[in-house]
Amino acid sequence: MYDSALVQPFRDELTQLGVTELTTPEAVDEALRQPGTTLVFVNSVCGCAAGSARPGLRLSLQGDTKPDQVVTVFAGMEKEATERAREYFKPYRPSSPQIALMKDGQLVKMMQRQDIEGNDAVSVGEALSETYQEHC
């Protein structure tokens, strides 16, 4: 577990965008049972989350086409909620950060850390926007 004061700015960066934090396995199940599209952002303290993933998500949400809901779990903080979210991501292995697009409870697109790391925020945002155009 990380110090909660340390990670609060990383949480705030997403919640200020309207992203809903899921802190329990039950909250994850409830969110992913909703019809339509749900983007699940596995937040992290790593540099690629700070430099590419969170800013890329922000850029992607500025477009007209977006998921019906955007939610987040925080790896290294809410262990059980993160584990539950990752159950929906199989066969993908856990990574942090990790961004999944679900449609009617089924995984339709996954961005793993290796898809994010080494890319800038604009590239991540464009990849997410293209995913929204295809599935949302």
Q: Which residues are catalytic?
A: 46, 48
Q: Which residue has the tokens 């999944």?
A: 100
Residue pair 21/15 in contact by the 8 Å Cβ criterion: yes
Tally of CB atoms within 10 A around 49: 25
Selection from 52, 47, 43, 51 nearest residue 14 by Cα: 43
